[in-house]
Amino acid sequence: MSIIYGIIAKDSKPLCEYSEYVGSISSVCIKAIAMCKEQQGVLTYEGYNMYYENHFNLIFLLMCEKGYPEEAVFKCIENIVNEFQKTFPSSSAYDNGPQYCLNKQFQQKLRMYMEKYNDPKNQKTNVDILTDKLISMHRQVLDTADIVNERGEQINLIVSKSEQLSRDSYTFKKTAEKVKNIERWRKIKLYGTIILIFVIIIGTLYLLKRK
């Protein structure tokens, strides 16, 4: 789907046109200009649509293959209108000129915008753009979910290791307490034995003195 012909006219006088195609489309569009009475509209011809904007009898018309997005072609026309008004701020440049008097000055700019909007990426409507954004967001969510799951697994591993360290620490603490208790009882027994021996020695010496 593409824009195949573009024309700018003042009333019924063509000022500038561009097309890569040859044939009767030029005469068809020139005749269609007389029917461009509304500020904006679309006319049909066989397998084509002719979209136009009327700016005080200055007509900007593009012929497209049917199926070309309407939103995109009106964006193209809007760009052409803005460029035309910037290039020709006064109508004196074309009011008294012959037919196609602006081809030399503006035909390449008309061609540039037509070729720009024949690029499929520039034919996307707002709905298409929104859909692309939603698809992109969906992909980002899936990627984020994968990262979260991966990090979740890593966190679970860290938690598991932390719990194992906690259990090992508790076991070590209990073992240390048991060793400490054993050592304490050993000291108590040792001190008790020493005291007992000391008492025996003192008792024996006392008995020997009495004899």
Domain CATH number, residue 93: 3.30.450.50
52 and 113 belong to one structural domain: yes
Among the candidates 94, 124, 154, a domain finishes at 124
134 and 81 belong to one structural domain: no
46 and 114 belong to one structural domain: yes
Q: Of 110, 96, 88, 113, which is closest to residue 13 (Cα–Cα)?
A: 96
161 and 143 belong to one structural domain: yes
pLDDT: is 118 or 20 the higher one?
A: 118
Residue 70 to residue 156: CA distance in whole angstroms: 54
112 and 140 belong to one structural domain: no
pLDDT score of 145: 59
153 and 119 belong to one structural domain: no
Domain that residue 172 falls in: 125-211
The average confidence (pLDDT) of the chain is 84
pLDDT score of 1: 83
Helix axes 103-117 and 70-87, enclosed angle (nearest 10)? 150
Among the candidates 96, 124, 152, a domain finishes at 124
88 and 65 belong to one structural domain: yes
97 and 134 belong to one structural domain: no
Among the candidates 59, 91, 124, a domain finishes at 124
Counting the structural domains of the chain, the total is: 2
131 and 76 belong to one structural domain: no
Residue 75's pLDDT band (cuts 50, 70, 90): very high
Residue 141's pLDDT band (cuts 50, 70, 90): low
86 and 182 belong to one structural domain: no
pLDDT score of 32: 95
> Which of 2-11, 14-23, 140-149 is most confident?
2-11
Residues 114-140 have pLDDT tens digits of 999 999 877 655 554 455 455 456 566
109 and 133 belong to one structural domain: no
Whether the Cβ atoms of residue 66 and residue 47 lie closer than 8 Å to each other: yes
182 and 204 belong to one structural domain: yes
